[in-house]
Chain A
Amino acid sequence: MNQTDPLTSEESLPASADSDQGWGALSDLPGNPIMWVLIISELLVFGAFFIAFGVARILDVETFRAGQALLDVRMGGANTLVLVTSGWLAAKAVQMVGLGRGRASRFYLAGAGGLGLVFLVIKGLEYASKAAQGIDIETNTFFTLFYLMTGFHAMHVIMGIIVLAIVGWKNSPENLETGAAFWHMVDLIWLILFPIVYLLQ
């Protein structure tokens, strides 16, 4: 009996430095390679959405201008400030757990998640305001794309808050880094979505 115990053999250690070599070019990126696969995928999907939005705007610019004029730029701007602040708190949470300060890390992470909820409240108020004006996803092409893009992003915010809660509970440095990376991706998408949808009038 000369078998290697599968639980202690070197090949079975997923977090070992050796296992990083199996990710090829992705090994050069900091943190979890799978999270970077997700970040690249999301960037491509949302990128396609943004370009489709720009092309649709060429085809019916008057409808898009009228729709964009009805958007509340201040609410979108406030949500941008909320998300970038939340991203900073998530980065601080990762820094703190790396220093062995788990309690401080959870404090920052709770702040990041709390601001995620503030983002959703502001988004909900914006949607309610549009609904009160009789505007919905079927109003015209602009609002169909507006609700699809911002709604899809808001779903990522909800998922991000859940991810932050999970990594705050099981707060190893690796978990924190991976969970925060998801949150930064959600932030990153909004930083492109906001000017394209709200500001290019």
Chain B
Amino acid sequence: MTHGETPSQVSRRLFRAWMLLVCLTMVSLVAVLGFGHSEAGLVAVVVALAASFLKARAVLDHFLDLRQAGSGWRGFFYGSLVFILGVLLVTYVVAGR
């Protein structure tokens, strides 16, 4: 977990990751509750899915320490997330047509 960091640096990094998770959750809630049923509905959905990717990545990188793994593993996990969320965006667009 430390990866050459001091304890206070680790604490700050974990705190920043948590704050990012809280802020992104609020952003997606505001986007969907505020604009989800308007003409900007698709934008709200894209914001929610992008926030989901960034949140999942923060958990992987900082809580599960994936940032210490090689680029192959990081690519696998980020790629899987993009694939799942991308397919869901496509199904949303197709369902709305």
Interface residues of A (CB under 8 A from B): 25, 28-31, 39, 43, 47, 50-51, 53-55, 57-58, 61, 64, 73-74, 77, 80-81, 84-85, 87-88, 90-92, 94-95, 98-99, 177, 180-181, 184-185, 187-188, 191-192, 194-196, 199-201
A28 lies within 8 A of B69 (CB)? yes
Q: Main SS of the interface on chain A?
A: helix
Q: Which among A88, A95, A98 has the greatest number of chain B C-beta atoms within 10 A?
A: A88
Q: How far is the CA of A40 from the CA of B2 in the complex (A)?
A: 24
Q: Which residue in B1, B36, B51 is a CB contact (below 8 Å) of A95?
A: B1
Q: A173 — nearest CB in chain B belongs to which residue?
A: B1
Contact B87–A188 (Cβ < 8 Å): no
Contact B36 A84 (CB under 8 A): no
Question: Please, how many angstroms separate the alpha-carbon atoms of A57 and B18 in the complex?
Answer: 32
Contact: A88 with B18, CB < 8 Å?
A: yes
Q: With both chains docked as a complex, state the minimum distance between the C-beta of B64 and any C-beta of chain A, in angstroms.
A: 5
Give B residues with C-beta under 8 Å from A.
1-2, 7, 10-11, 14-15, 17-18, 21-22, 25, 28-29, 32-33, 36-37, 41, 44-45, 48-49, 51-52, 55-56, 59-60, 62-66, 68-70, 72-73, 77, 80-81, 83-85, 87-88, 90-92, 94-96
Contact check, B59 vs A54: say whether CB atoms are below 8 A apart.
no
Do A99 and B7 have beta carbons less than 8 Å apart?
A: yes
Once bound together, how far apart are the Cα atoms of A29 and B85, in whole Å? Answer: 24
* A-side contacts of B64, CB under 8 Å: 30-31, 39, 181, 184-185, 188
* Residues of B with C-beta under 8 A to A91: 1, 14, 17, 62-63
Query: Is A88 within 8 A of B17, CB to CB?
Result: yes
- Assess A28 versus B70: contact at CB under 8 Å? Given A54-B87, A81-B22, A200-B88: yes
- The residue that A51 contacts in the complex, of B10, B25, B70, B84, with Cβ under 8 A, is B84
Query: Is A51's CB under 8 angstroms from B37's CB?
Result: no
In the complex, the answer to whether B52 meets A201 with C-beta atoms within 8 Å is no
Residues of A within 8 A of B87 (CB): 50-51, 54
Contact B95 A47 (CB under 8 A): no
Chain A residues with Cβ below 8 Å from B25 are 77, 80-81, 84
B21 touches A84 (CB 8 A): yes
Complexed CA–CA distance, A163 and B65 (Å): 19
- Which B residue's beta carbon lies closest to that of A80? B25
The chain B residue with its CB closest to the CB of A55 is: B91
Which residue of B21, B48, B94 is within 8 Å of A195 (Cβ)? B48
Contact B63–A192 (Cβ < 8 Å): no
A185 to B72, CA, bound (A): 19
Interface centre among A61, A84, A181 (most CB of B within 10 A): A84
Tell me if A199 and B32 are in contact (CB < 8 A).
yes
